[in-house]
Amino acid sequence: MPIRLTVVFLILALIVPVAVGFIGDFRKDTEVSDLLIQAKTVSDTAKKTYYAGIGGVFTADVSIGTGCRLDIGGEGSDAYEIRMVYSDEEVGRVFMERPPVRFAEPVSVSGILTLEFECVSCDGGAAVRVSVL
């Protein structure tokens, strides 16, 4: 009987860390997948706003999980992208290529909120300004 009990505990000692790691990876994959859906919502609304022309205004509701954020826009070529961040680690980017939508100023968002998108004149062209309502 003691040998069987020892074997059972040995098997559990080997399986439990693997199972815990699997659950952690599954949670991260789920959060990143949800983050991609929210980035796509931002991207689609920014395109719609850009196509509306200067003065066009739209809103979008986003729900970004705890420990996650979207970094919208930036400096230089970063002004044309949305970065997805999970636990301070960049896990993906959405590029605004077709059309090449430029974000007027960088903004980081997280939580459950409503974003306002406005097409504005910027450096002789059009850009989309994103703000939190």
The three-class DSSP label of residue 101 is: coil
Cβ-contact 93, 22 below 8 angstroms: no
Q: How does pLDDT run across 41-56, given as a tens digit for each residue?
A: 999 999 999 999 999 9
- Cα(104)–Cα(118) distance, rounded to whole angstroms? 10
Q: Which domain holds residue 128?
A: 2-132
Q: How does pLDDT run across 62-115, given as a tens digit for each residue?
A: 999 888 999 999 998 899 999 999 988 999 999 998 889 999 999 999 999 999
The total domain count for the chain is 1
